[in-house]
Amino acid sequence: MSDHPKQPKPNRRDKHKDERRKNTQKHTLAPSPQPSRSTTPGPSNMRGLSPGAAGILQSNPKSAPSRADNGEDSVTRGDTAKTYKSDTVQSMPVGRTYGSSTIIHAHGGVGGPGGQGGVHGGGGGTGEGNKFDIRNSNVTLTNPHATEIQFMKEKLAGHVAAQHKFTDQSKSVYAPGTRVEIEADILKWLSPQPATNEHIFWITGIAGSGKSTLSVIVVENLHENKTPVTAQSFVSRNIPETIDPAKIIPTIALQLAEFSPAAAGIIHNVLEGGFPPTRQKQVEELLIAPIQELSKSGNVVIILIDALDELQNAAKSVLEILSPIAARGCKFPDNFRFLITSRPEHWANISRSKTLELTVFKQHTLMIESSVPEVHNFIIAKMKEITPDEPEWEDWPPPGEVRKLSDKADGLFHYAAAALQWIEEQIHKSGMASQKQVFENFTQMGIGQLEDLYRLILTSFENIDDPAQDADWRANQLQGFWHIIGTILMLYEPLTIRQIIALLADIPEDDFDVKKFLQQMCSVLIPGTPTSFEGATPQMHKSFCDYIMGRHAPAEYCVLTGHAHFVTARSCLEVIVKAGSQSDIVVKYSVQHWYKHLQKAVERDMPWEDGRMENLFEQMVEEAVVNV
C-alpha cells in the first residue's frame, strides 16, 4: 500500500465546466482540487478508529460556481479568496458509521484578472488555493466504542449493580496515611512479576479493622499514580444491589468494557448472542476472555472487590464466584491482579478448598496489634480538629484521657472513628459539660469492644439503664428509633438523609423529630465527616447491623425485620397518597417498593391489622391509585 495519497480523478462536474468554458467563452472560477483519503494508516486508539476526524471528502454535483449576488461578473478582481456559493462536501468517519455526516464548506481562491484587448480576455490567474471553514452547523462525531458501551448497558440492564464504586457510596477515609506497610506490600505485588504465581491477594480482618479504608486508599493512590483500578466493586449491605452475587461479574465486565475498547469488542460480541445463562459462562466470556485481551497491552489489569463477605449467602456465593476463576490448573497473565477483602472466616473456607488452585492466592491478615500506633495518632489528630478553638478548651483533652481512649480502641479504626464522632456530637450538644462526661463514659467499657461502644451511643439517645421518668415518652422514643433505623436497614435502594426524612413524613413532628434523631445517630449512620449532612447516604457498619438486629443489642433497641418492613411499607403508602409534597425520587421509591416491604412483613408473620394502614388502602382505592 502506498504511503502517499491517491491523486484525485476529474469528476463529472469538472468535465461539464470545461465544456461550458469552450461553448460560452466565459471565464469562471477554477474548480477546487478534491481532497482525498490517504492510505497511510494513522495511530489507532480504538478498533479501526484513528484519533481525530478522518474521512473521504466528496463534492456535491449540484453546486457550481455562480455570479456575485450584486450582479457583478465573477471576474471582478479580488486580492483575497472569496466565494458566494460554496461547494459542499461530506466527511465519512473511518470505521463503523453510526451517526450523521459532517458538513464542511470548501472555498477556492478567486482567479486573477483577465487580459486586456482582443476578442477574448486572457485566462485568469491562479486562485489562492483551498480554504475550509465549518459554518454554524450541527456536527455529530460518532464513536464506535461509545456505541458499543451503550449497547452493552442495554443488554446488561438489570444485571449490573448500581453504586458499586466507593465514590458512589459516600465512603470516606477514616485515617489517611494509615496501614502504610500493607499498602506498600500491595503496591509491590501489583507490579508485574513473571516469577510469581500469586495473582489474587486476599486481605482479611475482623470488623472495624480498616479493610474498606485500605481499599479506598489503594484505589485513590493508584488513580493519583496514573495506574487506575480497571474495575472495582464495593459490596455493602447498605446498598442492596451490591450484595446480589448474580450481579458481581456483569458489574465488573461493564467496567472492563468501559476501560478498554479491546475488551469492549469481546464483551459486545458475546452479548450479541444473548446474556450468558450460567455463572460459569459469565466468568469465562465476560471476565476471563476480556482480561486475556486486556493483558496484551502490557499494563497491569487490577480488579478490586471489597467486603466480599457481605454478599448474600456469602458462604456459598463466594465459592461459586471463585471456582470458575481460580479452578485447579488455571493460568493467569503475568500482569493480572485481583484484590479481595473479607472477614477471616471466608478465607478459612477458601484455604481448605480442594477444587481451587491455591497457589494463585496471596493472603494477609490485618492484625489490629500492628495498627495500634496508627490509631493512636489518628485519635490525636482528630481530637485537635473537633476541639473548639476557645480559651476554655485550651488544655482539653488531657493526654491521659486520649491514651485511655486509644487503649479502648485497641487498633480498631472503626471504633476510633465512631467514638470520635460521638464525642464531637456531645461537644455540640452539651458544650463545656461534655469535657468530663465523655471520657467518664469510656472508663467502664471493655477494650476493643464495639458492642460496648454501640451501647454507649444508644443510651446517650435514651438511657434505658435508668428508670423512665415518663413511660409514654420513652415508649415514643423507642418507637421512633425502631421506625427510622429499621427503615434504613430495610431500604431496597439507598436514599440520602434528606430523602429518608421525606419518606418518614408520616412520623408526626410533634411526637418525634426525625432530623434531630438522625443527627444524634451520625456516629453509626454516617462514617467519617460528610460535606453535607442531608446530602449524605447512611452507611451503617456491618458490625452495627449485626448488633442492632441480633441478640447482643438491648432488647429495648433490637430491630425486628418484620416490624421494620411493615412500618416502611406504611411510610411508602403515606407518600403515595400524599404525592406532590415529596421529591420525585421518594415517590418513585415508594411506588416501586411498598408492596415488597409489605410482603416481607407478612412473610415474617407480622400481623398487619393496623388502622392507619387500612385507611391508606381505602384512600388509594378512592383515588384510583390501586385497583381492587
**Domain assignment of residue 25, yes or no:** yes
**Domain assignment of residue 464, yes or no:** no
Note every long-range contact of 117-125, with CB atoms under 8 Å and residues 24 or more positions apart, other chains counting. 120/25, 121/27, 121/75, 123/27, 124/27, 124/30, 124/75
Co-location of 352 and 438 in the same domain = no
Co-location of 280 and 381 in the same domain = no
Co-location of 529 and 597 in the same domain = yes
CATH number at residue 260: 3.40.50.300
Residue 411 has pLDDT above 80, yes or no: yes
Co-location of 230 and 343 in the same domain = yes
Co-location of 383 and 321 in the same domain = no
Cis peptide, bond prior to residue 51, ω within 30 of zero: no
Q: Which helix or strand (DSSP H or E) is residue 203 part of?
A: strand 200-204
Pairing of strands 336-342, 57-58: unpaired
Q: Compute the average pLDDT of residues 577-597.
A: 85
Q: Compute the average pLDDT of residues 298-314.
A: 93
Q: What is the pLDDT of residues 106-165, one digit of tens each?
A: 555 555 565 555 555 555 555 555 555 555 556 555 677 888 899 999 999 999 999 899
| Residue 460: per-residue pLDDT | 86
Co-location of 283 and 326 in the same domain = yes
**Domain assignment of residue 177, yes or no:** yes
Residue 296 has pLDDT above 90, yes or no: yes
Q: In angstroms, how far is CA 321 from the centroid of its own chain? A: 22
Range of the domain at 394: 371-448
Q: Compute the average pLDDT of residues 43-72.
A: 36
Residue 208 has pLDDT above 60, yes or no: yes
Q: Compute the average pLDDT of residues 393-410.
A: 92
Q: What is the pLDDT of residues 498-550, one digit of tens each?
A: 999 999 999 988 889 999 999 888 888 876 555 578 888 887 888 888 899 98
Provide the whole-model pTM.
Answer: 0.64
For 130, 179, 444, 490, the CA distances from 184, given in Å and listed in that order, are 59, 9, 38, 38
408 versus 627: the higher-pLDDT residue is: 408
Instruction: Give 54's pLDDT tier (boundaries 50, 70, 90).
Output: very low
Q: End of a domain among 318, 344, 366?
A: 366
Say if CB 207 and CB 343 are below 8 A apart. Answer: yes
Co-location of 428 and 565 in the same domain = no
To 5 degrees, how large is the angle CA 326–CA 284–CA 270? 165
Note every long-range contact of 542-546, with CB atoms under 8 Å and residues 24 or more positions apart, other chains counting. 542/207, 542/237, 542/307, 542/310, 543/207, 543/208, 543/414, 543/450, 544/450, 544/454, 545/237, 545/489, 546/207
**Domain assignment of residue 466, yes or no:** no
Number of domains in the chain: 4
| Residue 560: per-residue pLDDT | 94
Query: Cα-flanking dihedrals φ and ψ of residue 565, to 5°?
Result: -65, -40
**Domain assignment of residue 465, yes or no:** no
| Residue 77: per-residue pLDDT | 36
Co-location of 315 and 174 in the same domain = yes
Co-location of 329 and 377 in the same domain = no
**Domain assignment of residue 586, yes or no:** yes
CA distance 244 to 221: 28
Q: Which of 13-17, 264-268, 396-400 has the lowest mean pLDDT?
A: 13-17
Q: What percent of the chain has pLDDT over 70?
A: 73
| Residue 616: per-residue pLDDT | 83
Q: Compute the average pLDDT of residues 32-53.
A: 37
Instruction: Give 362's pLDDT tier (boundaries 50, 70, 90).
Output: very high
Co-location of 406 and 354 in the same domain = no
**Domain assignment of residue 400, yes or no:** yes
Co-location of 532 and 576 in the same domain = yes
Residue 482 has pLDDT above 80, yes or no: yes
Instruction: Give 594's pLDDT tier (boundaries 50, 70, 90).
Output: very high
| Residue 132: per-residue pLDDT | 53
**Domain assignment of residue 75, yes or no:** no
Co-location of 226 and 334 in the same domain = yes
Residue 324 has pLDDT above 60, yes or no: yes
Q: End of a domain among 366, 397, 413?
A: 366
